[in-house]
Amino acid sequence: MGEVYVYHDLFGYILQMSPDLLEFLSAFGTGARVEDVCKEYANAFGENTPESFVGTFIQFGCLITPGYDQLKDIWDMIPVKSRWNVWVRGDDGNVTLYTAWGDRAGQAHALSAEETKIWDAINGEMGLETLAEWFGKDAVGALVKRLVHHDVQALKLSALAMSYYKSRQHMRPPYITSTMPYAPYEAGAPIPPGPDALFSTDGYYEHEVEDADAQFDHEETTLSHLLRRPHVALHGKTYGAALIEGLGKRFELGTGPFKVLEIGGGLGWVAKAVTEALQALGGPVTYHILELSPALARAQRENTKGLPVTVFEGDALKADFPGDDYDLVISNEMVGDLTAVKVTHEQLGMGGEQGIDDAKFDAGLEAMGEAGALVKKHNVPIGDAPDPFFLNVGAWRLVERIWDALRPGGLAIVTEFGEVGRYPILSSQLDHPELSTHFGHLTIVAMSVGFKPKFEYIIDMVSLDRDKKGLATTRSYFRALTQALADKGVTLEKIGYTEEMFSELIGAAGLVANENLGSIEFDRIEDRLMGLVPHEFKALLLAKPLPTLEA
């Protein structure tokens, strides 16, 4: 996403960099003089002198005297096991660590019996000095070098014991629990495009999705994908079925016939479940999907075979909708993919001492083109915006289009991750930038269009059982765990495993969480399920009123 970090292979420090700072660090090579390099970069960092960065680089072991053996510096440190380690303990008692950082191939790192003893002794409290007394300096030093290295990232070195941070979590340096799953970057190489270049994500789906299943299993996972099969946390229902049940509790759905449009259908599992749930209510169902990605459209056709589902290919913001007079329009976890614009205070004459400069504001909106026109048309309040800020204009336009597609009395549901009062923030979990949705703005646009909007938490809509615990993963951790389990003949799927489901899965191979397979974390399902945070997902329910007598 255009950010650059340095990972220290011996301590595990993570330093956020800018590309020019990294170039400066790299200029030291294997033995340049500090004075010479600083002279060369004298005016490179605005108000900061290059010398001020040298101090930080020395402090974090990124600059050393030529020939100095940095291993000398580790013995006062305390080794700490990283978060998101995947390990398996074999029948011989030896531990194998598994890694699959970012897009790098999965690797197994087998520890010998001696190394396993050192690994087992590491508890985040004891210093390396003590471990060296027990196991020998050479063995401990070699293991630290191997396991802290960015290929493994199983250990970090800390100046303080973990017990110190027990009641001071906020003081714990972030590198201890963070990982670096990103692609390698060499100083001076072209900078990967930052998110700004990608704000219009038009085209991402159209061109880049090649393997539809892999898209949802690895690149991005939606809540509906994790809950696509009947799930205990949904009282035995699928996500799609639970959504219809939730709508039925809030609105009179009747018994059909039902004419439905889904915008952006993923693999088609929502379409399948919703169609079946509506059929169960009585009437015949006509279900249209409008989908941008040809690969996903193919998957949708395949996965809804035999059902009254027709898939149309096109862009939800540009193509004609395949029909009109819909009873129900569904846009599930897709508006985050639509165009957003980035705006600065400067552009709109905001943030000055006298508040907003009205003339500048109007001229700024004018210059913004369609986005500015929409702010004006729907009176979207942006006086409280941070600088810079984003506007989900694609989602606004979609809401306008949905109004035209619905019959009077019809209903739409738009879900996405976001908050009522929070300006869109960038999620960097995925392989493409995705912004959260400002539901307050979306609600205002919906009201301005004529809807009666209702804001809901998805977990309430689908009656998620909040007492259940779910498996917590990150993308790299999930890949590493998949490999560890595959070596044991177990297939890990991208579904929302509860504690019980996961125990049953691994139990078949004689594995017990955190006994001979680790580290396994379970979290309250509303706070985390696999890599998602379910309580961040919201829904806007949009009812299109029936015409009144006066109208």
Ligand X SMILES: C[S@@+](CC[C@H](N)C(=O)[O-])C[C@H]1O[C@@H](n2cnc3c(N)ncnc32)[C@H](O)[C@@H]1O
In the Cβ-directed half-sphere of 285, how many Cα atoms lie within 13 Å? 29
Q: Determine, following the binding rule CB under 6 A, whether residue 293 of this chain makes contact with ligand X.
A: yes
User: Amino acid identity of 217?
Assistant: D
Q: Determine, following the binding rule CB under 6 A, whether residue 275 of this chain makes contact with ligand X.
A: no
Q: Determine, following the binding rule CB under 6 A, whether residue 290 of this chain makes contact with ligand X.
A: yes
320-359 mask for ligand X (x: CB under 6 A)?
Answer: ------------xxx--xx---------------------
Least gap, CB of 294 to ligand X (angstroms) = 9
How far is it, in rounded angstroms, from Cα 428 to Cα 436?
11
Query: Can you give 203-248 as a three-state secondary structure string?
Result: CHHHHHCCCHHHHHHHHCCCHHHHCCCCEHHHCCECHHHHHHHHHH
Least gap, CB of 208 to ligand X (angstroms) = 10
Residue-wise DSSP of 11-68: T--EEEE-HHHHHHHHTTTTT--HHHHHHHTTTTTTTS-HHHHHHHHHHTTSS--TT-
Q: Determine, following the binding rule CB under 6 A, whether residue 260 of this chain makes contact with ligand X.
A: no
Q: Are 370 and 393 in contact (CB under 8 A)?
A: yes
Q: Determine, following the binding rule CB under 6 A, whether residue 540 of this chain makes contact with ligand X.
A: no
Q: Are 52 and 44 in contact (CB under 8 A)?
A: no
Strands (DSSP E) contained in 374-422 are 389-391, 406-419
Q: Which is nearer to ligand X, 222 or 347 (CB)?
A: 222
Q: Given the rule CB under 6 A, which of 245-253, 275-283, 287-295, 370-378 is the region that contacts ligand X?
A: 287-295
- Residues in 177-206 that interact with ligand X by CB under 6 A: 205
Least gap, CB of 178 to ligand X (angstroms) = 26
CB-nearest residue to ligand X: 264
Q: Which is nearer to ligand X, 110 or 319 (CB)?
A: 319
Taking CB under 6 A as the criterion, the residue among 222, 392, 437, 482 binding ligand X is 222
Q: Given the rule CB under 6 A, which of 25-33, 93-101, 289-297, 379-387 is the region that contacts ligand X?
A: 289-297
User: How many Cβ atoms are within 10 Å of 36's Cβ, its own excluded?
Assistant: 11
Q: Measured over all CA atoms, what is the biggest interatomic distance in the chain, rounded to whole angstroms?
A: 89
Residue-wise DSSP of 444-478: HHHHHHT-EEEEEEHHHHTT--TT-EEEB--HHHH
How far is it, in rounded angstroms, from Cα 278 to Cα 264?
19
Taking CB under 6 A as the criterion, the residue among 82, 99, 179, 224 binding ligand X is 224
Q: Which is nearer to ligand X, 263 or 277 (CB)?
A: 263
Q: Are 286 and 258 in contact (CB under 8 A)?
A: yes
Taking CB under 6 A as the criterion, the residue among 181, 195, 266, 518 binding ligand X is 266
493-522 mask for ligand X (x: CB under 6 A)?
Answer: ------------------------------
Distant-in-sequence, close-in-space partners of 6: CB < 8 Å, separation ≥ 6: 13, 14, 15, 17, 22, 25, 62
Taking CB under 6 A as the criterion, the residue among 17, 292, 449, 484 binding ligand X is 292
Least gap, CB of 299 to ligand X (angstroms) = 9
Least gap, CB of 74 to ligand X (angstroms) = 44
In the Cβ-directed half-sphere of 259, how many Cα atoms lie within 13 Å? 12
Q: Determine, following the binding rule CB under 6 A, whether residue 265 of this chain makes contact with ligand X.
A: yes
Q: Determine, following the binding rule CB under 6 A, whether residue 264 of this chain makes contact with ligand X.
A: yes
Q: Which is nearer to ligand X, 74 or 273 (CB)?
A: 273
Least gap, CB of 236 to ligand X (angstroms) = 20
Q: Determine, following the binding rule CB under 6 A, whether residue 270 of this chain makes contact with ligand X.
A: yes
Alpha-carbon distances, residue 391 vs 227, 371, 436, 538 (angstroms): 30, 8, 10, 17
How far is it, in rounded angstroms, from Cα 544 to Cα 449?
10
Q: Residue numbers of the site for ligand X (CB under 6 A)?
A: 205, 220, 222, 224-225, 263-266, 270, 290-293, 296, 315-317, 332-334, 337-338
